[in-house]
Amino acid sequence: MSRNQKSIQTPSSSETIISLSGTWQAEIPSRNLTLPMEIPGDLAGALVENQILPHPYPGKNELEFQWLGHSDWSMRTEFTLPEGTSGQPALLVLDQLDTFADIYINGKAAGSSANMFTSVEIEIGRLVNAGSNEIRIDFRGPEKEGAQEAEKLPYPIPSSKHFPWASDYRNLIRKVQCHGGWDWGPAILTSGIYGSAYIRTGNSPRISALTPVPRMKDGAPARNGGPARNGGPARKDGNLARMDGTPEESGSWIVDIEILCQSPDERVTEAALTLKNPDGKILENISIPLNLQRGENRIIHSMEVDAPLLWWPAGEGGQPLYSVELSLEHDAPIRDTPIRRRFGFRHIEVVHEDDEIGRSLKFRVNGREIFAKGANWIPVSALPSLQSEELYRNLLEDAREANMNMIRVWGGGQYEKELFYDLCDELGLLVWQDMMFACAMYPATPDFLNTVEPEIRYQVQRLKHRACVAIWCGNNEDLGALSWYEESRKDPARYLVDYDRLNEGVVGRIVRKLDPSRTWWPSSPSAGMGDYSDNWHDDSKGDMHYWSVWHEGKPFEAYYDVTPRFCSEFGFQSFPSLETVKTFADQDEWNISSPVMRHHQRNDRGNSIILSTMSSYFRIPEKFDDQLYVSQVQQAMAIRTAVEYWRSRRPVSMGALYWQLNDNWPVASWASIEYGGRWKVLHYEARRFFARLSPVLYSKDGGIYCHIINDLPETVSGTMLIRRISFSGEILESIEAAAEVNGGSAKQVWEHPAYGEDEAANSFLHAAWTVQGKSDKHSSGSIADLSGGMETSMFLARPRDCYLEPGELKVSPGSSAHSIIVESDVPAFYVTAELPASVGLPGHFSDGGFTLLPGEPRELKYTHAWSAQKECRPEVKISPDMVRIRHLRETY
C-alpha cells in the first residue's frame, strides 16, 4: 500500500456545476401544447400535473395516453455560465434520458441518444458562452422509432404482446420494456429525463467512477461462471462461516479500489483517499499520485483491512457498510467535492455443480449456504415521475419484514436507482440483477449491439461495488422464448445465433470482463453457461420458472410434483382489496366482470382462472368485497403450498422467489403488496412461510407430514405439538414429538395417514413448535425474537368442503394506542385486519391471514409506513370501531 504523502502541484483550475434540474418548457406540436415540465420527470406526469390529461390509473384513462408513443415533442430551458468560461471545456451530463433524443445547445446540434440505460455525456464547450445559453432536447416517439427499426430488419424479430394497444416494437428499442405494457401493467410510452442533469465546466481531471471491491487475502473466489468448490472461501479454521461476524473471525481482506479518471491532458496530480469504518472512524487517509494521460485513466489502489465486520444477508447477521472517499487535489484551497462509495466485506459464491440429481444452484455467503427467500421486483410506478423515495423505502422495508433476503430485479423493467441499491445494502437484501431484456427475441444487428455495449459497461461499472448485488443475469426468459414464436420455431438456428451474439457475445462478455468477482448467469431460467436447453420445466438443474399452476390450471398440489434447485419465478394472481379498487373504480363498477375491473386485469385469462380456482377450493362468495378477499386467501394458499414444500426439500431446493412483490399501478396481479402499499394476505403469509425457524404441514400421496425448517446456523432442539381440532374448537387428537434439527436443514418430525372424508370435513390440524431453553446468541438475537413462523395449521379437505362454525370474533383495545386485540369463540381462519384508507395512516398490522384459536386472543399492532413515520402523527389512534376484521367463515 502506497503511503506517498508528497504534494504534487497541478495547474490552477476553476470548476462550476450548473444544475439543469427544475422547470423546463415542453412543446408538443401535434397537440398544439406548451406546458411546464419538471426535471427529473416525464411527459405523461407533466400532462397530469398540468391537468391536460387525467391521471392514467383510474378507470380507462390509460387509453388517453396512447398517442405519446407516436408523437415527437421537445423541451427547453436556459442556463447561465459565469464569466471566464467561454472557450473552456464544458460537459453536459444527462442521466436516464428516455429515449430517442437530439440535443441542441444555442440552436446547434450537440449530440443524440437512443438508449435510456446509459448516461449521456457530451462535450459542449465549443457551443456555449459566458452568460445566458439555451438547451433544447427534441424527443422522437418511441413506438414510431421502433416501427422504423422494424422496417430495416432483414427478417422479423418477434416479441410478446399482452393486449391490443401494447407496443409492437418494444424489443427493438432500449427503453423500459414494460412501458409498452405487460400482463400486469399499463402501456404508457412516456419520455423524459429521470436522473441528474447538469453541466460541468473547467479543464480539471474528473473522477467518472470509484469502485471498491473487497476480496479475501487468504482465499480466492471461484472462477466466474464455473462450479464453485465445496467449502468455498472459508478459512481452514472455518471461522468465516461463523455467523456473528466479529472482527477477530473475519481474517484479512484486500480492498481493490478502481478509479476511472478523465483528464483533458497529460498531467501529474494527487488524489486524497479515505477509508472509513461503519461508525465513520477513519481507518486510512492517504494521498496517492496520479500520472494521468489524456482521456480515460484506470488506476487500481489496494488497501489491506484486518478483521473487518462482515456484511450478511438479512436474517443471517448485520449489514455493516464501510466507505471510501476520493477527491482530486488541485492548488489549495480548491478541491473537488469528494466522491463516496459504500461497500460491504462479504464473499458470495453461486454454487453450480453436478450432483446425483442434476446441477445445483445455490448461494453461499461468507462460507454459509443461504436459502434464498424473496420475490421479483418491477418498477414501483408506471410513471417515472411517481417513483418516489417513499415507495422504494416502504416496499423494501416490507420485503425485509416478511423475512425475505433476496430481490430479483426483473429484466423487463429498469436498472434501478441508486436509492434502491442503497436500501438493499442497508437492509441486507441480496439482488439477483437481470439485464433489461425480457420475453422476446432481440436484434443482433451491428447497430443494436453497438447500442447495447455501452449500456452494459455503464451499468456494471455503476453497480459492481454494491454489497447487495449477488449475481448478473443476462435476461428474463429469452432463452425459453426461442420456442414461443412461429418465426423462431421455423428457423431456430437463425434466432439462436442472434441470441448468442447479443447475450454471450456482448452482454456476457462485458460482464465477465468488468466484474469477474460475480457469477454470470446467462438467462432466467437456465441451466447455466454453455447449456442452451429450455429449462422452463426442468427442476433438476439451474433455476426454474414454474407456472403450471397458473397458466396450465393445475391444482396447488402440483407444486409437490417438482423440487426446483432454485425457483426464480412462480405465482398466482389475486384481486386488490376494496380500498385499492376504490382508487380506480366507481361503485357502479364493483363487479369482477365490469368494464373497469376487466381493464385492470391484464392477463387475458386472469379473471377466469381466479374464479374457476375459487370454485375448486372455496365456496364462492356473493358479495364483491368478499370475492376480493377470498381471491387473496387462495393466492396466499397457493404460494404457501409451494414455498413450504420446497423449503422442506432443503438442501436439494435452495431458493424461492415468487412473482411478484409489487405493482406499478392498481391492478389484479400476482403481487403480494398492492400499489399504494397495502399488504395482501400473501405478504402476511410470506412473513410466516419465510421465517427462519418454522413448522410445515402438507399432505401428499395419501399421507400427512410435518417438517421443521431451520435456517439458523446452529442446531435447535424443541417439541412439536400437533393437534387435530374440530371446527367448534374441541381438541380431538394431540401428539407431541421431540426433535433436534441441525442448522441449515429441514427435518421430518411426524407423519400420519390421510384422514377420512368426515374427519377432514369437520376438523383441521394445528402444529406449534416450542424451542427448549434459550438459543445461543446468533445473528437475529434469541429464537423468541424471530419474525413469523413457530406455528401453522392445515385444512384436511379443501375449504369449500369444510363445515366451518360461524362463531363470533370480538375486537377490543390493545395495550397501546396503535394496537387491537382479536379473539374468537371458535377457530377462525385467515383472520385479517383492515384499516380504511380514509383514516389517512398508511401501514400494516403485525399479522394477518392467520388462524385464531379459541381462548388464545391475539394482539395486532399497527406499524406506520415510512411516510407516516415521517409525518409523526401520534394523534391518530387505532380504535376497534375503525378496523374491519375479515375471516374465511364470514364469506360463506
818: left (phi over 0), alpha (psi -120 to 50) or beta: alpha
Provide the percentage of residues in the chain whose pLDDT is more than 70: 91
Dist CA 471 CA 372 (whole Å): 12
Q: Examine the pLDDT at 377 and tell me if it is beyond 60.
A: yes
Instruction: Indicate the pLDDT class of residue 14, thresholds 50, 70 and 90.
Output: low
**What per-residue confidence (pLDDT) applies to 16?**
84
Residue 24's beta-bridge partner residues? 37
pLDDT of 432-457, one tens digit each? 999 999 999 999 999 999 999 999 99
Structural element, H or E, at residue 449: helix 446-463
Query: How far, in whole angstroms, is CA 67 from its chain's centroid?
Result: 30
pLDDT in tens, 335-376: 456 799 999 999 999 999 999 999 999 999 999 999 999 999
Measured in degrees and rounded to the nearest 5, phi and psi for residue 820 equal -135, 160
Q: Does residue 729 surpass a pLDDT of 60? A: yes
**C-alpha span between 98 and 556 (Å, rounded):** 42
Give the pLDDT confidence score for residue 203 in this predicted structure: 84
- What pLDDT is recorded for position 87? 76
Q: What is the mean pLDDT of residues 759-772?
A: 95
Question: What band does 249 get if pLDDT is binned at 50, 70 and 90?
Answer: low
Cell match 398540468: residue? Answer: 50
Q: In 3D, which of 350, 404, 307, 313 has the Cα closest to residue 526?
A: 350
Query: Is the pLDDT assigned to residue 778 strictly greater than 90?
Result: no
User: Would you state the cell numbers that stand for residue 46, as one nine-digit string?
Assistant: 407533466
Enter the C-alpha cell of residue 453.
Answer: 455495449
Share of the chain above pLDDT 90, in %: 83
pLDDT digits (tens, 9 = 90+) for 208-239: 999 999 999 875 443 333 333 333 333 333 33
End-to-end CA distance of the chain: 72
The confidence score (pLDDT) of residue 198 equals 96
Q: What HEC string does 707-759 produce?
A: EEEECCCCCEEEEEEEEEEECCCCEEEEEEEEEEECCCEEEEEEEEECCCHHH
Question: Can you give the pLDDT at residue 246?
Answer: 38
Question: What is the band of 782 on the pLDDT scale with cuts at 50, 70, 90?
Answer: very low
Domains and CATH numbers, the chain: 16-200 (2.60.120.260), 204-343 (2.60.40.10), 366-689 (3.20.20.80), 692-801 (2.60.40.10), 804-892 (2.60.40.10)
Q: What are phi and psi of 91, to 5 degrees?
A: -110, 125
Residues 819-868 pLDDT 10s: 999 999 999 999 999 999 888 888 999 999 999 999 999 999 998 887 65
What average pLDDT does range 48-66 have in this prediction? Answer: 98
Cell (9 digits) for 834: 383492515
In the numeric block, the cell 377490543 is attached to 812
In this prediction, residue 335 carries a pLDDT of 44
Task: Give the C-alpha separation, 719 to 671, whole Å.
Answer: 35
Rounded to whole angstroms, what are the CA distances from 814 to 791, 861, 875? 22, 8, 16
Task: Assess whether the previous peptide bond of 660 is cis (omega < 30° from 0).
Answer: yes
Segment 800-826, tens digit of pLDDT: 999 999 989 999 999 998 899 999 999
Find out whether 416 and 461 touch, Cβ atoms under 8 Å: no
Amino acid, res. 305? V
Q: Are 323 and 341 in contact (CB under 8 A)?
A: yes
Segment 259-270, tens digit of pLDDT: 999 998 899 988
Q: Is the pLDDT of residue 30 over 70?
A: yes
Q: 3-state DSSP call for residue 297?
A: strand
Q: What is the mean pLDDT of the chain?
A: 91
pLDDT at 190 over 90: yes
Using the predicted structure, report yes or no on whether residue 424 has a pLDDT greater than 60. Answer: yes
Tens digits of per-residue pLDDT, 64-114?
999 999 999 999 999 999 887 777 899 999 999 999 999 999 999 999 999
Mean pLDDT of the region 18-41: 97
**Residues contacting residue 760 through CB under 8 Å, at least 6 positions apart:** 754, 795, 796, 797, 801, 802
Three-state DSSP class for 170?
helix
